[in-house]
Structure 1
Amino acid sequence: MNSFRQEFLAFALQQGVLRFGEFITKAGRPSPYFFNAGLFSDGASLGSLGDYYAQALLTAEADGLGFDMLYGPAYKGITLAAATAIALARRGRNLPFAYNRKEAKDHGEGGLLVGAPLKGRVVIIDDVLTDGASKRESVEVIRAAGATPVAVAIALDRMERKGVEGALSARSAVQEFEAEYGLPVLAIANLDDLMGWLDATADTNLAAHRERVAAYRARFGVER
């Protein structure tokens, strides 16, 4: 596991974004952990989060992914794309970015899009991918502008199958999106990384959660 992935999980825990205990997910499942990227809610934590996105993108670039700009879908993706663009610029990759409005503006520059013109190879930046609706909309917006979406970057991939007990999908939302659009979804960290981090930790209180997370994965998880 890349060290920045371990560092990201520790950072998320420190910020209260990653929590262990008993939670109910949006899908109604009892989960032994919870991740809420909306709790990166001050300048310092958002700046650090942008740097982790930048590291994930630069790792993918070293593996062959080419990209020319960033796109942040409203609303969470707007600040995430901006923070990532700043972090990349500090690392010598000064890229343009754009984002959308929920409703078209009928004065000033008008339209739904704000920022740099969409062109070239575009990475969509968002927090998570659940049903994939906003990412599908983003793909269509980017293609309609004549640009090419090349990847989606998210903070955490829970690697879970969709559906209810006894009728679970064969693939996760991330896998279904990748299969539908042929685009990779790049996560700063995923459930594999979380399991590896819990395996490696010297914190006995933290390690105590591993068994429950492993059981949850066996019940709902997918393989990458």
Structure 2
Amino acid sequence: MEKYQKDLIKSALQYGALKFGSFKLKSGRTSPYFFNAGMFYHGSSLSKLADCYASKIIDLDIDFDMLFGPAYKGIGLVNITSLALSRNHNFDIPFAYNRKETKDHGEGGLSVGSPISGKVLIIDDVITAGTAIKESVKLIKSCGAEPVGVLVALDREEIANDKNTSAVKEIEKELNLKVRSIITLTDLIQHVESNIELERFTSKIIDYKEKYGINN
């Protein structure tokens, strides 16, 4: 793993965004781990998270003109990622995000921030059903811009309940758009296996991946 991937896992554990144990998911499954990017709610934690997003973007070497964050979690993520790209990599990039409700006064419109144009990279935390990403792509295209990819913090690498594929793979197929992640479930397993304090969770996570994991 790259340093920024290890940093994300360590920071997620430090701030309670990543937990190991037994967790009932909305899907009805019982997962041996749980990830919630909403736990990055202090300045110091957000700074570390932003550094990870920015480092991944630079590592990917994607050709894009601006960032876009789907409401609601994507709003904060796109702000801090733009800041980290400027601060750490001297890459000054504009950003925008959408509103959940149309505003008919002030600046109005469905989006806030930079005018949406050119090649757009979408930033979010995770993909569950993919609804926010689909809405974002629709808005971006309606502005005459081109979505060129999606970056999320974690790819759970598991199949959806009703399909033999993951939400990420469904999005890629439906929108013809590549989805990248800073870390994956495979990365988490690698970290847990090498950590004395966490290795007791290894077998349950591997069992979960074998049962619900996608076939790579």
TM-score in terms of structure 1 length: 0.93
Once the two structures are overlaid, the 10-residue window that deviates more, 107-116 or 209-218, is 107-116
Matched, 1:175 2:173: no
Matched, 1:211 2:203: yes
Report the equivalent of 2:129.
131
Give the deviation of 1:147 after TM superposition.
Answer: 0.6
Matched, 1:10 2:10: yes
Q: Is the 8 A contact 1:73 1:100 kept in 2?
A: yes
TM-score in terms of structure 2 length: 0.96
Report the equivalent of 1:81.
78
Report the equivalent of 2:119.
121
Question: Could you tell me which amino acid in structure 2 is paired with residue 74 of structure 1?
Answer: A
1:145-204 superposed Cα distances (whole Å, 9 cap, x missing partner): 0110011111111011011xxxx5221000111111121111110111111112222x2x
Unmatched tracts of structure 2, length 5 or more = none
Question: Could you tell me which amino acid in structure 1 is paired with residue 45 of structure 2?
Answer: S
Q: Is the 8 A contact 1:50 1:87 kept in 2?
A: yes
Report the equivalent of 1:189.
183
Q: How many angstroms apart in 2 are the aligned matches of 1:198 and 1:184?
A: 28
1:110-155 superposed Cα distances (whole Å, 9 cap, x missing partner): 1111110111110111111000001000001001101100111111
Give the deviation of 1:3 after TM superposition.
Answer: 2.4
Give the deviation of 1:28 after TM superposition.
Answer: 1.1
Q: How many angstroms apart in 1 are the aligned matches of 2:41 and 2:79?
A: 14
Report the equivalent of 1:155.
153
Superposed CA RMSD in Å reads: 1.0
Local SS of the residue matching 1:20: strand
Q: How many angstroms apart in 1 are the aligned matches of 2:4 and 2:206?
A: 22
Check 1:54–1:223 CA distance in 2 against 1; reply closer, same or farther (3 A cut): farther
Q: How many angstroms apart in 1 are the aligned matches of 2:28 and 2:213?
A: 15
Report the equivalent of 2:63.
66
Q: How many angstroms apart in 2 are the aligned matches of 1:110 and 1:133?
A: 23
Report the equivalent of 1:220.
212
Report the equivalent of 1:42.
42
Q: Which runs of 4+ in 1 moved over 3 A?
A: none
Q: 1:141 aligns with which of 135, 139, 142?
A: 139
Q: How many angstroms apart in 1 are the aligned matches of 2:176 and 2:105?
A: 37
Report the equivalent of 1:56.
56
